[in-house]
Amino acid sequence: MSGSDFKADQSWFKQLFESSPDPTWIIDGNRFVECNEAAIRTLGYSSREEFLDVHPSRLSPPKQPDGQDSYAKAESMMAIARDRGLHRFEWTHTRAGGTNFAAEVTLSLVALEERQVIYCVWRDITERKGIEEKLQRQNNALSAIIEHFPGGISMVDANLRLTAHNKQFRSLLDLPDALFDKPDLNFEDIVRYNAMRGEYGPGDPERQVAEIVARARAFAPHGMERVRPNGVALDIRGMPLPGGGFVTIYIDITERKRMEEQVRHLAFYDVLTSLPNRRLLDDRLAQTMAASKRSGLYGALMFLDLDNFKPLNDAHGHVVGDLLLIEVAKRLRSCIREVDTVARFGGDEFVVMLSELNEDKATSMLRTEAVAEKIRVRLSEPYLLSVRREGQGEATVEHLCTVSIGVSLFINHEASQDEILKWADAAMYQAKDAGRNLIRFHDQDTSVMK
């Protein structure tokens, strides 16, 4: 069938051709027998005759982007269309000027005059491909950022389905690979897995899941710190996404928390003995005085000074003296309750604070005296201090050391913190002046020592 026969017998088809905004042509066998103006214009030819005279191989580069020979692949695409009746695919075309562009091609098998031909419609998708490539580059960049982010990242959609995450997310939360084998993994699945293994502490796992999922469905900004059972501390921050869903980041702050605790310890605890220092003592004294005001119970503060400490330092050096102070701290801890406080005031001076004694002053004094006596006896026991000197073996230094104790009772806010400390300190000096290894109480009512 020639091109003129085709046009004469199928004049209605000409109207379909020319009304199509997309380039269109008819392929009979392996020849172009008709085309529309859109095809001529898009491919850059001057006339229909020039276009139809062009060999099909000139309408494509030698090879397609997948590396296949264009002519051979075109034959394959037409064979598929003849077999299936319809075939759609992407193709790289060449304009008359030699430039290439991407097109989406649709081949349809149609019958004309009892003869099957291929009706070809294609559309320039250069702009679409450019947008797709740009989006792909953006997705690749986003994926790289997510994967190399120094923390975990997870993203869920409006239905709380997990849509993206990185390896750090799995690692920080210690989530097994098997959990991610599920085709549509939901936020609830991850929460339930965590709840069942005790990540959220004691309680009913299903209730924990329900509460967490309910909060998530609010899609509100959220932030929290959570310490996992394995000791890993996480800073978890979530932000809602447009249209629903949220992205959450997980930062391992274990080391930061450890350093913060170390700084806090240095600020409030004695480096040598690990006892509370004067700053923390002041804070606890204030709390105990406030509690005394609420409860009406007495508290007591003891000021302790070692009686025979300097000779040890002079004879054996500060290393041995430090060993003695460490041992004194241990013995003091063993003499008091959990609610009480023992602190190092400085040098060889210590403070013991007793709380929640009794509402009766005499009873409180007796209880305090019993504790003070226990401390005095315990600290008077011999010290066996093991020391290793450079170039020498380990040696044991035995030392006897007593303690002088001054005590001041307090209740409510009848006296200031400074006054309570001064009274106990003054009572301690009274014990030293009286011969050492003694306990003396300050009588607030008469400002005399007993």
Expressed as residue numbers, the domain containing 53 is 3-125
pLDDT band at 446 (very low <50, low <70, confident <90, very high): very low
How many CA atoms lie less than 13 Å away from 156 in the CB half-sphere?
A: 25
Q: For 248-274, what is the mean pLDDT?
A: 92
Whether the CB-CB separation of 441 and 447 falls below 8 Å is answered with: no
Final residue before a domain boundary, out of 191, 226, 256:
256
- The answer to whether residue 136 sits within a structural domain is no
pLDDT at site 205 = 94
Is residue 265 over pLDDT 70? yes
Note whether 177 and 102 are same-domain residues. Answer: no
Is residue 407 over pLDDT 90? yes
> Can you read off the two tokens belonging to residue 114?
């009892």
Largest CA distance in the chain: 136
pLDDT band at 62 (very low <50, low <70, confident <90, very high): very high
Count: domains in the chain? 3
- The answer to whether residue 139 sits within a structural domain is no
pLDDT tens readout for residues 186-227:
999 999 999 999 999 999 999 999 999 999 998 999 899 999
pLDDT at site 248 = 93
Final residue before a domain boundary, out of 221, 256, 291:
256
> Can you read off the two tokens belonging to residue 99?
């430039």
Whether the CB-CB separation of 26 and 120 falls below 8 Å is answered with: yes
CATH code for the domain in which residue 351 is found:
3.30.70.270
CATH code for the domain in which residue 100 is found:
3.30.450.20
CA 326 to CA 429: how far, in whole Å?
23
- The answer to whether residue 340 sits within a structural domain is yes
pLDDT band at 33 (very low <50, low <70, confident <90, very high): confident
**What angle (nearest 5°) sits at the alpha carbon of residue 324, between those of residues 319 and 327?**
130
Note whether 237 and 308 are same-domain residues. Answer: no
146 or 385: which carries more pLDDT confidence? 385
Final residue before a domain boundary, out of 256, 287, 314:
256
Is residue 11 over pLDDT 90? no
Look over the chain and give the mean of its residue pLDDT values, rounded to a whole number: 88
Is residue 294 over pLDDT 70? yes
